[in-house]
Amino acid sequence: MATITGVSPLAVPLPRLGPIAGVRIGAAEAGIRYKGRRDLMMMTFPRGTTVAGVFTRNKCPGAPIDWCRDALAGGRARALVVNAGNANVFTGRAGVATVKTTAKAAAALAGCPARQVFLASTGVIGEVLPSERITDALPALAEALTEDGWEDAARAIMTTDTFPKASTRSAKIGGATVTINGIAKGSGMIAPDMATMLCFIATDAAIPAAALQAMLSKGVGPTFNSVTVDSDTSTSDTVLLFATGAADHPPVPETGGTVLRDFRRALDEVLQDLALQVVRDGEGAQKLVRIAVKGAVSHKSARAIAFAIAHSPLVKTAIAGEDANWGRIVMAVGKAGEPADRDRLAIAVGGTWMARNGTVVPGYDEGPVVTHMKGREVDIAVDIGLGDGAATVWTCDLTHGYIDINGSYRS
């Protein structure tokens, strides 16, 4: 099978990420699977750094997920170690041992308890991850960390990604300016929940762990948990958010509150930006597809319908073929199993309403829709016509590229 070597046509330029006070970051070649590229990433944080995290709901998670869930209970972080090429999933006792050995080695280098080390792995499932590859590379990597290693880090965590993913925003907390940097990787096996394989965000704000967790848990809903590439849910999906507290701003209460309003806005923007970059790098993706459902009986129902459309291979191949086949959208609405009445349903593509009240719109002119379908971004709007429930999700088209990439991934 052909190998896809080009960059996604939906790629966005990598923004320059400046330093986050307190964060030291870098990458190294550990030779875990890839040759001639960096595949190991490390961040360290100052004492007092708080952490929040959300993880895959896959019932067969990797050993690093178990480790992070436990570590998160402490609410404090001093180091993050991430490798690409091997997911350390379904590796039994060997996988648990690798996690422990890695955390211990990083803890010694960062001068902290192992429980303040966070870990993530991405890549092939079911092959033992040799911990010595990581522990051999860690001392030199830890020594070489700088404040400016964000781009190297974004590149080191890539697997089938065709471009590195990063985002940055600044925000005000009580008059002081803080910065949020985030990097992400992911291009397949992207579906809620979580919707990226890996995403790491750091800020110099000083935010109690509980408030940080509340913001992150809420923030992933309309962002990472609202995107899908292929309906498959990784065993390794991880979003971690670290707050070093190096910035000088008025104290934030344990429960957060209005002082964090602008920070929340900026965090949500970073999450949205990175989530859409993941879809833009969807395996084989040629088009970014936004699906907005309104008029459902509830938000939950709208979301289920939007995902039924976004997961439908028939809808996704029609988009790949630049065919505004609203019949397949009707089918997908109906297969969601949510309340729907075909005689109240309306469907628009690119802002043109094509179908309404159970049939094609009288005098419907296909022209503007055909033009819209030829573009890189396709907008689908569905009005169920029953209630106030609304939800928006994003996906990509299903193309030959997806088959090329996934029909020969291991070989």
- Positions marked active-site: 196
CB 297 within 8 A of CB 304: no
Specify the residue, 88 or 167, whose C-beta has the smaller distance to a second copy: 88
- According to the binding rule CB under 8 A, does residue 387 interact with a second copy? no
For a second copy, the binding residue among 110, 173, 260, 398 (CB under 8 A) is: 398
Q: Which of 338, 373, 389, 393 binds a second copy (CB under 8 A)?
A: 338
Three-state SS annotation for the chain: CCCCCCCCCCCCCCCCCCCCCCCEEEEECCCCCCCCCCCEEEEECCCCCEEEEEECCCCCCCHHHHHHHHHHCCCECCEEEEEEEECCCCCHHHHHHHHHHHHHHHHHHHCCCHHHEEEEEEEECCCCCCHHHHHHHHHHHHHHCECCCHHHHHHHCCCCCCCCEEEEEEEEECCEEEEEEEEEECCCCCCCCCCCCEEEEEECCCCCHHHHHHHHHHHCCCCHHHECCCCCCCCCCEEEEEECCCCCCCCCCCCCCHHHHHHHHHHHHHHHHHHHHHHHCCCCCCCEEEEEEEEECCHHHHHHHHHHHHHCHHHHHHHHCCCCCHHHHHHHHHHCCCCCCCCCCEEEECCEEEEECCEECCCCCCHHHHHHHCCCEEEEEEECCCCCEEEEEEEECCCHHHHHHHCCCCC
Q: Binding marks (x or -) toward a second copy, 154..193, rule CB under 8 A?
A: ----------------------------------xx-x--
Closest CB to a second copy among 167 and 187? 187
Question: Minimum distance between the CB of residue 282 and a second copy, rounded to whole angstroms?
Answer: 11
Tell me how far, at minimum, the Cβ of 96 lies from a second copy, in Å: 9
21, 152, 176, 325: which one binds a second copy (CB under 8 A): 325
Q: Give yes or no for residue 403 binding a second copy (CB under 8 A).
A: yes
Among 53, 61, 85, 385, binds a second copy (CB under 8 A): 61
Find the binder of a second copy among 18, 250, 257, 321 (CB under 8 A).
321
Task: Output 263 or 402, the one with its CB closest to a second copy.
Answer: 402
Q: How far is CA 200 from CA 209, 243, 253, 282, 356, in A?
A: 16, 11, 24, 19, 43
Residue 11 dihedral angles phi and psi, to the nearest 5°: -60, 150
For a second copy, the binding residues in 191-210 under the rule CB under 8 A are 191
Closest approach of Cβ 228 to a second copy, in Å? Answer: 11
For a second copy, which residue of 9, 74, 92, 139 counts as binding (CB under 8 A)?
92
Which one among 37, 172, 335, 372 touches a second copy, defined by CB under 8 A? 335
Contact between 294 and a second copy per CB under 8 A? no
Going by C-beta distance under 8 Å and a sequence separation of 6 or more, which residues neighbour residue 64? 88, 99, 119, 120, 121, 236, 238
230 vs 269, beta carbon nearer a second copy: 230
Residues 251-270 that bind a second copy (CB under 8 A): none
Site for a second copy contains 312 (CB under 8 A) = yes
- Interface residue with a second copy among 83, 91, 102, 225 (CB under 8 A) is 91
CA distances from 33 to 30, 37, 187 (A): 8, 10, 18
Give me the least distance between CB of 32 and a second copy, in Å please. Answer: 16
Among 41, 138, 201, 332, binds a second copy (CB under 8 A): 332
- Find the binding residues for a second copy in span 8-37 (CB under 8 A): none
* Closer residue to a second copy in complex, CB, 21/94: 94
The binder of a second copy chosen from 76, 78, 294, 328 (CB under 8 A): 328
Site for a second copy in 343-382 (CB under 8 A): 343, 345, 355, 357-360
234 belongs to the binding site for a second copy (CB under 8 A): yes
User: Site residues for a second copy, window 69-88 (CB under 8 A)?
Assistant: 87
Q: Which is nearer to a second copy, 29 or 193 (CB)?
A: 193
Number of shown-chain residues binding a second copy (CB under 8 A): 73
Kindly state the smallest distance separating residue 331's Cβ from a second copy, in Å. Answer: 5
Query: Minimum distance from CB of 324 to a second copy (Å)?
Result: 9
